[in-house]
Chain A
Amino acid sequence: MATEFVTAIMTSEIPAGGITAVDVRGTRVAVANVGGTYYAFDDACTHEQCSLSEEGEMTGTTVTCTCHGSEFDVRTGKVLAPPATVPVKVYPVRVAGDALQIEV
């Protein structure tokens, strides 16, 4: 199935410095608000599938999965600290009016 931008959430629902999870076409996606810039990535940590919207802590553009300490760059999904070894999948986003659209 081809990917397309899907309206996922109102930007006002994502607190600054926070992470919110949304279901986009059956995929659970975490959305982070870093000073008004939005990033979307798989909600499940690649280590042991903890929810990054629930257990994740944002510091700048780094999300720390507090379950076991894995860190990811939310811009690229790259692993910044173990125990995770597999990058988290990231999704393109765009703001359309008051809404955030995510390409899945």
Chain B
Amino acid sequence: MARRYVIIGASLTGATAAITLGEEGAEGTVTLIGAEHEPPYERPPLSKAYLRGEVPFDKALVRPAAFYAEHGIETMFGTRVTRIDPSARFVELEDHRRVPFDALLIATGGRNRRVSIPGGDLEGIYGLRTVQDADRIREEMIAGRRVVVVGMGFIGSEVAASLRQKGLNVVAIDPSKTPLFRVLGEAVGQTIADLHRAHGVRTIFEDTVATFEGTRRVSSVVTKGGLRLECDFVVVGIGIEPAVDMLEGSGIVVDNGVVVDEYCETNVSGVYAAGDVANHYHPIFDRRIRVEHWQNAIKQGAAAARNMLGKRVVYDEIHWFWSDQYDANLQYAGFHTKWEQLVVRGRLDSPSYLACYVNDGRVDAAVGLNRAKDVRRVMPLIKSRRAVDLEKLRNEGLDLRSLHASP
């Protein structure tokens, strides 16, 4: 039966969904609508290799620009959706055109969180979400210049590392005790702080920006703690908020993003959400989770597409992501908010460790620094939800695969 599949958000999630619809035999039309002008691209390089000028933009494209037309996917890039009417089954564009759908995927992602700090509208203050944002920062990246990085989450940490690698003088400031504090906690976060300091970043924690100062263009950052940081420019990385404004009045439930079930479906039948914007019910962790990472963008985009085709696929991926900083490879798998025990293979004060966040003897999540194989091998333990022998978990002489449940 010919159906009209419409996807809003032409990034990694939306593109993966469109590609999956085609590969899995969608009959009808597939329309991919996105506010950005470029064909869908991946964002991880924007804070790393692309920002440092090591790879061209083409390398970040999900598919070559010509792919979509060649595969019968109708694209409307540079086009913003302003409204969704789920009962009349159409989305409305900013020029008031209406695009009807039978099945709809919301993959609108997020936009950078803004805070109103005095002087925040001075020139030379940048966020990072899009390739244009990355290009603006690249123009400022001249060795020897002074930059203040505000926020040491994943984006701030990666940008600080890239800027140091290009020879800039970097001061990083964050209100928490360490980088990545909210996700990884103090003990692990401290190791990331050490990594940045070892590479010459000046770190300021438990302090925040009071004002940006300068005439026309920012020239210094003044903190609430009373520090004055002279600078040539500023990069702010303080997180995103889900892009849901087009859902106002639609009746689609929004709570920390678009609320969806384990089939990526919203409260409105036939309307789905995936990627950064989707607050999804995760059956393994028995709670809702919203994830802003690359693997979820791909896997949930594909799962949503299969559900748009009526295949009833439960999305229960163990979330995983990496963050390369300098020559260090940081990876996280699973999900946790709190933990009773932090069980470490190796030592946190060494260049390579795996730290497991344990509750009730179960590994809920793990983070590895230069421990890629261990992260991969701990994932089946996380998925099993079973208590593990913590002494064995800690024992570096044991291959983690020996702790996997026997088939």
Closest residue to A59 on the B side, CB-wise?
B376
What's the A-B contact tally at a CB cutoff of 8 Å? 24
Report the bound CA distance from A67 to B321 in whole Å: 10
B: number of interface residues (CB 8 Å): 15
Report the bound CA distance from A30 to B69 in whole Å: 38
B373 touches A57 (CB 8 A): yes
User: How far is the CB of A55 from the nearest CB of chain B, in Å?
Assistant: 5
A67 touches B295 (CB 8 A): no
B68 proximal to A (CB < 8 A): no
Known: A55-B372, A55-B373, A83-B42. A67 touches B298 (CB 8 A): no
Report the bound CA distance from A74 to B346 in whole Å: 31
A36 proximal to B (CB < 8 A): no
Contacts of B294 in A (CB 8 A): 83
Interface of B is mostly: helix
Known: A83-B42, A83-B294. A69 touches B320 (CB 8 A): yes
Contacts of B320 in A (CB 8 A): 69
B375 proximal to A (CB < 8 A): yes
A66 touches B298 (CB 8 A): no
B329 proximal to A (CB < 8 A): yes
Contacts of B372 in A (CB 8 A): 50, 55, 66-67
B285 proximal to A (CB < 8 A): no
Contacts of B329 in A (CB 8 A): 67
Report the bound CA distance from A64 to B372 in whole Å: 11
B376 touches A66 (CB 8 A): yes
User: How far is the CB of B341 from the nearest CB of chain A, in Å?
Assistant: 25
| Residue from the set B295, B376, B377 with the largest chain A CB neighbour count within 10 Å | B376
A82 proximal to B (CB < 8 A): yes
Interface flags, A56-83, vs B, CB<8A=1, else 0: 0100000010111100000000000011
Contacts of B295 in A (CB 8 A): 69
B322 proximal to A (CB < 8 A): yes
| Residue from the set A55, A66, A67, A83 with the largest chain B CB neighbour count within 10 Å | A66
Contacts of A50 in B (CB 8 A): 372
Interface flags, B318-330, vs A, CB<8A=1, else 0: 0010101000010
Report the bound CA distance from A50 to B370 in whole Å: 12
B residues with CB within 8 A of A: 42, 44, 49, 294-295, 298, 320, 322, 324, 329, 372-373, 375-377
Q: List 24 A-B contacts (CB under 8 A).
A: A48-B49, A48-B324, A50-B372, A55-B372, A55-B373, A57-B373, A57-B376, A57-B377, A64-B376, A66-B372, A66-B373, A66-B375, A66-B376, A67-B322, A67-B329, A67-B372, A68-B322, A69-B295, A69-B320, A69-B322, A82-B298, A83-B42, A83-B44, A83-B294
A residues with CB within 8 A of B: 48, 50, 55, 57, 64, 66-69, 82-83
- Nearest first, the 4 closest Cβ-Cβ pairs linking A and B are A66-B372, A66-B376, A66-B373, A67-B372
